[in-house]
Amino acid sequence: MTSGQKRARQMFSSLAEATADPPGITRAAYGPGEQLAHNLAARHATELGCEISCDAIGNLYMTLPGEDRGAPAFFVGSHMDTVPHGGNFDGAAGVIAGLSLAATLVENNTVLPRDLVIMAIRAEEATWFPLSYLGSYAAFGKLPATAIDETVRSDTGRTLGWHMREAGFDPEPARQGKVLLPVRRVHSFVEVHIEQGPALIGGDQPIGLVTALNGGFRYTTARCIGRYAHSGATSRQYRQDAVLGFSDFVHGLEKEWDSLGEPGRDVTLTIGQVATDPTHHSGSKVAGEVGFCLDVRGPCQDALNGIRKRISALCDTVARTRGVDCVLGPEFTWPVTQLDEELRHQLNDAASTLNLSPPSMPSGAGHDAAVFAEMGIPTGMIFIRNANGSHNPDEDMDINDFDQAVSLLVAHYSLQASRS
């Protein structure tokens, strides 16, 4: 076993132990679990001879010096936060892969032509703050102006700015849109991540190369609004039952989903959160309101725009037939993002030197890589085979598949070195 492989196993096991939150793993964005993961990464990076730095909002940069210290650096990395009671690999695998790469380079006495920066990105999981790719956007000075003071963490109700300060960081530069990581510093970005669907398992492949990331939109504070009434004494025709309205909405969504069979135009429609209002509901009241979160994703922008219109029409139908208003509220959107084709070909060439033939595939989920691509940086992603999806405690990545992803990184950057 190489020292990089040994180090990776140690890190995964330390992380799982320290951030266990049965059933599963919890590392809240700007919470103690995420900080612990950053500290662990920094300690290992220091042992490997990396330079450690941190930007104003807490993104961590671990730099293994290359020959030309002034040239744009190879960036690899991912995030270290998780959803509540998620798994150990979603996010962390990308940072640990970077450190395992660095360990192998150090062990082999390989010095790359340019710096290798392993980046641990803050706050990727939008479950904590209703923003996608918070840490990446902030690094490039692209966080929305209102994000610091107007978005609050789902479990604490406190603002992003409060949490940044509480964790010892400074939200001011991000509030002013200051660039923390200049684009010119980044030669390219590669994110290693577990696959969150079953395609690699189905195809019997340890790793895959991502072509594009799905776009999507989300309503985090949608509501069906009816009227509270006594359960036993209010007969059916007098009810404006928010639960029945919500259920009509869900069935209408499924019908729209049925109509979207065409490959490449498919979407996913997910209502991950539902709740009546605990300060007003009662088992003996007809529900007057149901709140919910609707998440829509797909590879085709045109199909996404179409389903958005049909969801809006569905709200009108529910209001007309049930007397229940469906109010979608603010919409958060993210575009479909193409990754760099040339970089994918380079990764493929490196894979062939290892006798691997990773399939090319789209990503259903969003990733920090989308922001790097949006900034014009050549960006690639390597998916690792993983059972049971992610965002749940049952994520199941085989560590040998992880080793293959690291071998691909080693082969890729060694080829880059030999070409320079």
User: Which parts of this chain interact with a copy of itself (CB under 8 A)?
Assistant: 83-85, 125-127, 130, 195-198, 214, 216, 218, 220, 227-236, 238, 241, 243-244, 246-247, 250-251, 254, 257, 266, 268, 270-276, 278-288, 290, 293, 295, 297, 363-366, 388-393
Cis upstream peptide for 23 (omega within 30°) = yes
What is the closest distance, in whole angstroms, from the C-beta atom of residue 245 to a copy of itself in the complex? 10
For a copy of itself, the closer CB: 273 or 416:
273
The smaller minimum CB distance to a copy of itself, of residues 42 and 336, is found at: 336
Q: Which is nearer to a copy of itself, 141 or 393 (CB)?
A: 393
Residue type at position 216 = G
Nearer to a copy of itself by Cβ, of 167 and 250: the residue is: 250
Question: Cβ 360 to a copy of itself, closest distance in Å?
Answer: 16
Contact 161, 168 (CB under 8 A): no
Residue 90 CB, nearest distance to a copy of itself (Å)?
8
- Residue 219 region by backbone torsions, left for phi larger than 0, else alpha for psi between -120 and 50, else beta: beta
CB of 393 to a copy of itself, least distance (A): 8
User: Would you say 314 or 350 has its CB closer to a copy of itself?
Assistant: 314
Give the shortest CB-321-to-a copy of itself separation in angstroms.
12
Per the DSSP assignment, residues forming a β-bridge with 273 are 293
Nearer Cβ to a copy of itself, position 170 or 266?
266
CA distance 277 to 133: 30
Query: Cα–Cα distance between 197 and 102 in angstroms, integer?
Result: 28
Q: Between 44 and 281, whose beta carbon lies closer to a copy of itself?
A: 281
When the beta carbons of 279 and 355 are compared against a copy of itself, the nearer one is: 279
Angstrom CA distances, 292 to 44, 113, 274, 276, 338, stand at: 42, 51, 4, 9, 30
Helix (H) or strand (E) holding 82: none
Q: How far is the CB of 378 from a copy of itself (least distance, A)?
A: 24
For a copy of itself, which is the closer residue by CB, 74 or 402? 402
**Cβ 311 to a copy of itself, closest distance in Å?**
15
Closest CA to 350 of 294, 415, 399: 415
268 or 360: CB nearest a copy of itself: 268
- Joined together, the tokens standing for residue 245 give 């309205």
User: Whole-number minimum distance, CB 142 to a copy of itself, in Å?
Assistant: 21
Residue type, 50: C
Smallest gap from Cβ 354 to a copy of itself, in A, equals: 26
For residues 6, 410, 405, 408, the Cα torsion angle rounded to the nearest 10 degrees is -150
The least distance separating a copy of itself from the CB of residue 185, rounded to whole angstroms, comes to 30
Distances (CA, A) of 138 to 62, 203, 218, 252, 337: 18, 37, 20, 38, 18
The residue type of 397 is M
For residue 25, the one-letter residue type is: I
Q: What is the dihedral of CA 294, 295, 296, 299, to 10 degrees?
A: 180
- Give 382's strand partners: 192, 209
C-alpha–C-alpha distance, residues 287 and 280, integer Å: 9
The strand pairing partners of 324, in sequence order, are none
